[in-house]
Amino acid sequence: MTDATIQTLDTPDGPFTVLEDPDGRVLASGWTDSVERILGRLAERNRPERVVDGRVASADAVDAFYAGEVEHAMQVPVRQSGTELFTEGWRQLRLIPAGVVLTYREFAAAMGRPDAVRAAASVCARNAPALFVPCHRVLRSDGTLGGFAWGLDVKRSLLERESVGRTALV
């Protein structure tokens, strides 16, 4: 890929940067204003040769998410490259409805690999288009938040926006 467009949006959770390919598919995104950090979410072979500042197609979906219309983000096209396991995992993440959380064990089962809990965690950890592929909807087996590339405060905020009860957010 040669070109990509990048835009940083202001959100209640801080700056949110989106990187899109020329077809408007999100390649990577996250709660930062650092271009390097966003590019670092992609394998080197999947990074664009040139990044230009501009308006990304997904900006309206980000605004809608923060206005309470959280499912708009699930309609945004994404582009991810990975093994069959990772591709299926990322697909399954997009099927988790807003307001629902799964444990890593439940997520592994949804991927068709009930014993692959560590692999399920890796799928979440390597998810580059955060928000649009909602890895934040997966928690540790004990119900605690676990990890999140953009910080646990952001993960907690996203889940609260999606109407997940506070008792689930240990």
Q: Looking at the annotation, which residues are catalytic?
A: 135
Do the beta carbons of residue 6 and residue 18 sit within 8 Å? yes
The three state secondary structure string of 47-91 is CCCEEEECCCCCHHHHHHHHCCCHHHHHHCCECCCCCHHHHHHHH
Closest CA to 74 of 84, 64, 87: 64
